[in-house]
Each structure stands twice: as structure tokens, then as C-alpha cells.
Amino acid sequence: VAERVAHFKQDVWSIFTPLAAQLKAVNLGQGFMNFPPPDFVRKAAISAINTNDCNQYSHPKGRLRAREALAKSYSPLFDRTLDPETEVITSAGANEGLYAIFAGFLDDGDEVILIEPFFDQYIANITMNGGVPVYVPLRPHGDTNKIISSRDWKLDINELRSKITPKTKILVFNTPHNPVGKVFSREEMLEIAQVVQEFNLLLISDEVYDRLYYKPDVHERIATLPGLWDRTITVGSGGKTFGTTGWRVGWSIGPKHLIKTVLAAQTRIVFCVNSPLQEAIAISIEEAEAHGYYEENIALYEQRRDKLCKALSDAGLPYTIPQGSYFILANTKRINIPEDYEYPEILLNRPKDFKVCYWMAKEIGVVAIPPSEFYSEENRHLGEDYARFAFCKTDETLEAAAKALLKLK
């Protein structure tokens, strides 16, 4: 086995998703929807499959219709006219988009700054391409034994500065944030922008939850801040946007000189993205506004968020109210598990939160994700008293979770 893979531990998704099924627990773990995509989105997929050329290869930078739909819908959001030929590229999910970006820009030993907690896939995407992750945590302010807001999780900009070395090449930024649910404010982003410019960094902005933010917060795109367009690639997700995480269609938006490099790498990774579902995402984007989809979807998610918040309150677990995304971090410190409790073998050498999440799955019947997986070794302790619950689930599922969580009282 190659060294770059040999040290991988079993990923958290392939532990907890099967565990939920095995224990017949309510699954609020991995962030996928358990309700169908909207009708207009499913119809788009059917019509794409029935269109002859959609079943064959696409251009490696994406189907023209998808790039045009993305350019049209995102131009107003980026305050500029996006060129579908050079400034937009589709990817096999946002995940492969990120992989292609790292493959395109990292040389061996280049450092990439990650803000903790972070989506765990970043690490492997970086290290498999020769990069070295460097970490800086968001820190919760206020009393974490009470309900706080994701606004209270803050980045210390001086701590970020202290992590920069001559080898730092990329900063990965994520808003709305997984797993904290934080929607960074313009002021916070301006501070980051300053650092990125001062040290001549490439900024990767993971904005896969860009259509999910809750009043009074709005999602602002860091690429629109002065001086940042030329050094920023913004990554988006059809799966998060339309409830189709299994379709694996994502995209990246950025200036021509950066997208060109992503294309060079991507062509050699997947050659091209799934054609019919890319077309379906194109059609969905074209039609979304006329259906009032984005607003309606936010309203539905806001209700789901409030339902899960109430469930956690009723169960007596303090948590962070998310401003965006579909995750809630709950503080599990008050859960006491007997010392002699028995865990399956695969959890024995894992941090405390893996054990708490296992116990919760087995004894309470609700699956959540242990967020220490989203931290480096050195900062793992910062995540160990939390569990991440996803609310991209039906009302029925959320109600079943609420009922089960009451056993924690």
C-alpha cells in the first residue's frame, strides 16, 4: 500500500452510516437528505437521460448548458459577469473539485491552512497531492454549557497569522460552515482577506452550503471583497443545493488563470463529469428561481433547524445555533457513560466523542457524527465534547430523534 494511503484510518462516514442501519437508530449523522429532491429537479434528470447526447462524454470543463446556467445564476452574486467559457468549471461533486484544485496548485511540501473544525476530506485531498495541512481553530466564546450562536465561534486572526510560513500557499475557507454552522460576517472576512493578500495566498472558498443561511444572516461571498477575485476559487455543490448528494455534481468559479489550472488537473482525474446529471443540475438552476425554490428551501430548513434545536433543548443538551448549513453542534459534556461500557473494536483507539456517539446510537437510538474527526491531532481535544447532528431530514425523522433524545434527560 502506498504510504500516502497506508496511514488513513477508517473514515467517520463509513463507521457511523452503517452503524445507524445496523442499530436501526435515527440517523442524523452523515449530511444527506432522506427526502426526495423537488419534482422539477427529478423531472430535469429524466429529461436529460432521454436526451441523446446527454448520455455521452461532456467537455472536461463541463457541459455548456451547466456552465451557462451557473454563470447566469452566479453573476449577480459575484457582482460581475461570469464567463461560462473560462470562469466556471463543473466537477464530480464539490469533493473532486477540491481534489482537482489541490492537484493543480500544490507542489510537495506546500502548506495549506485549514480552519478547524473542517470537513475531514480536505486532509486527504491535500496530503495525496503532496501538501502539508497547517491548522488554526475557531474558538467558541461565551459559556459553552449554555446555548450559544455559531457567531460565537471566532477565528483569532493573529493566531492565523502566526501559522503562515514561506511555504504557505493556500488558505481554505468555508462559509456557511460545516460543522459549526457559522456564516462569517463581512468584517471577519475582511480580516482574512487582508492576510490572504499580504502573504500572496491562493484562497479556496468552500461555499457548498451557500443557499442555506437563516435570518438575519446572509451569505456573502469572500471572492467579492476588494482584491480577492483574482486569487479565489469558490466551490459549490449541486447536491447540497438541490438535495441530490448522490449525483456528484459540483462546480468551481474563479478567474480564468486559476480555473485553467483546475481544468488541466481535472481532465486527468475524471476526464469529465457525469453528463446527464450535470445537464439536470443545469436545468434545475435555470428553473429554480421561477419556482421560488431557494427561498422556499431556506424556509423549510429553518423549520427543520428549529425543530432540532428544540429537541436538543428538551433533552437538556446545550448547543450552537447555526446561522447556516444543516448541522448543529451539541455539547455532550454532561453525558456520563459507565467506565466499563463496551465498545466495538473499531472505536477502541478513537477519541472520546466517537465513544459518546456510539453510546448515543446504541442506548438512545440517535446517530450523530463525532466532530473530533474535523480536527488535527493537536487540537482534537477541542472537538471531543461535541456531537454533530444533521437536520437535512424529514419532519418524521426529526420527531423520532426528538423523542429518542428525551431519554437523555
Residues near ligand GLN, by CB under 6 A: 13, 30-31, 119, 121, 178
Give the nearest distance from C-beta 212 to ligand GLN in angstroms.
12
Give the nearest distance from C-beta 111 to ligand GLN in angstroms.
24
Give the nearest distance from C-beta 149 to ligand GLN in angstroms.
20
User: Which residue's CB atom is positioned nearest to ligand GLN?
Assistant: 31
Q: Which is nearer to ligand GLN, 30 or 267 (CB)?
A: 30
Give the nearest distance from C-beta 168 to ligand GLN in angstroms.
26
- d(CA 15, CA 23) in angstroms, rounded, equals 12
Q: Which is nearer to ligand GLN, 225 or 366 (CB)?
A: 366
Q: Which is nearer to ligand GLN, 33 or 155 (CB)?
A: 33
Q: In whole angstroms, what separates CA 228 from the centre of its chain?
A: 21
Alpha helices in 163-274, H assignment, sequence order = 186-198, 238-242, 256-269
Q: Looking at this protein, which amino acid is placed at residue 348?
A: L
Closest CA to 245 of 95, 362, 135, 381: 95
Closest CA to 192 of 217, 178, 172: 172
Q: Which is nearer to ligand GLN, 13 or 294 (CB)?
A: 13
Closest CA to 235 of 217, 247, 246, 223: 223
Q: Which is nearer to ligand GLN, 118 or 214 (CB)?
A: 118
Strands (DSSP E) along 306-405, which ranges? 319-321, 327-331, 366-367, 386-390
Strands 250-253 and 88-91, how do they pair? antiparallel
Give the nearest distance from C-beta 17 to ligand GLN in angstroms.
8
Tell me the CA end-to-end span of the chain in Å, nearest whole number.
47
Give the nearest distance from C-beta 22 to ligand GLN in angstroms.
18
Give the nearest distance from C-beta 246 to ligand GLN in angstroms.
11
Q: Which is nearer to ligand GLN, 168 or 372 (CB)?
A: 372
CA distances from 58 to 95, 185, 279 (A): 19, 38, 10
Q: Is 341 exposed, middle or buried (0-12, 13-18, 19+ CB in 10 A)?
A: exposed
Angle (CA) 345-347-352 rounded to 5° is: 145
Strands 232-237 and 202-206, how do they pair? parallel
Q: Which is nearer to ligand GLN, 93 or 351 (CB)?
A: 93
Give the nearest distance from C-beta 62 to ligand GLN in angstroms.
21
Q: Which is nearer to ligand GLN, 78 or 374 (CB)?
A: 374
